Amino acid sequence: MYKVIGTVKSRAARAIWMLEELGVPFEHIAAPPRSDAAIAINPTGKVPVLIADGVPITDSTAIIQFLADKHGTFTRPAGTLERARQDSLTQFLLDEFDAALWVAARHSFILPKELRQSAIKDSLKWEFERSQKTLVARMGLGPYLMGEDLTVPDIILTHCLSWAYAAGFPVSEERLKTYSKLVSARPAYLRAMAR
Ligand SMILES: N[C@@H](CCC(=O)N[C@@H](CS)C(=O)NCC(=O)O)C(=O)O
């Protein structure tokens, strides 16, 4: 059985959501980042970690793409042009959405107080708004990023949008507001968030 380590208030939410979508049994250890339980599995203390067949896998994107590939769903097949397009969206979201939110988090409550530069958040918010426009221009007819079905980058985008709301990063694009409401109404998402 899979085991996932990390609280739902962290990027572990992505792994838990994917497991809920797959409908496979899993054990959830709701250990916060840098807790003893997290450090015992991953020396950096970062979460999430997925344990599959006794092997720990770190990094939420690696985890959810592994699960999608292993179960043959929520992804385009490896080696196809559609998969290249999907991976390109995934990388865009990591570079432009996840990274901006993560740098803001570091300068809000992660770095030692004397190293935090709160002014950096203005430029990050500016970049985040610009990236939303770029993403919307890349979105097709939907309703999901790759078309009719949910895939790996949808999990990253929906998580980043909810993170943005919580961090006070404006989501200004109407298309993304509508998208976020639609995807976050999925029963598996709601089950994951209720943990
Ligand atoms: N790229 C990694 C980032 C993991 C990460 O930084 N997780 C945060 C919680 S969302 C954490 O554990 N931070 C603790 C730290 O940076 O020391 C992923 O997507 O899983």
Residue 195 within any structural domain of the chain = no
* Count of domains forming the chain: 2
76 CB near ligand 1 (under 6 Å):
no
Q: What is the 3-state secondary structure (H, E, C) of 81-142?
A: HHHHHHHHHHHHHHHHHHHHHHHHHHHHHHCCHHHCCCCHHHHHHHHHHHHHHHHHHHCCCC
Q: Considering the entire predicted model, what is its pTM? A: 0.97
Residue 21 within any structural domain of the chain = yes
- Are 178 and 85 in the same domain? yes
Determine contact, residues 65/135, Cβ cutoff 8 Å: no
Phi, psi of 49 (to 5 degrees): -130, 135
- Are 91 and 24 in the same domain? no
- Are 40 and 97 in the same domain? no
Residue 14 within any structural domain of the chain = yes
Q: In 10 A of CB 154, how many CB atoms?
A: 24
45 CB near ligand 1 (under 6 Å):
yes
- Are 49 and 98 in the same domain? no
pLDDT per position as a tens digit, 53-110: 999 999 999 999 999 999 999 999 999 999 999 999 999 999 999 999 999 999 999 9
42 CB near ligand 1 (under 6 Å):
no
pLDDT per position as a tens digit, 4-35: 999 999 999 999 999 999 999 999 999 999 99
**Cα 140 to ligand 1 centroid, rounded to whole Å:** 30
59 CB near ligand 1 (under 6 Å):
yes
- Are 181 and 162 in the same domain? yes
Residue 82 token pair: 């559609």
**Cα 178 to ligand 1 centroid, rounded to whole Å:** 28
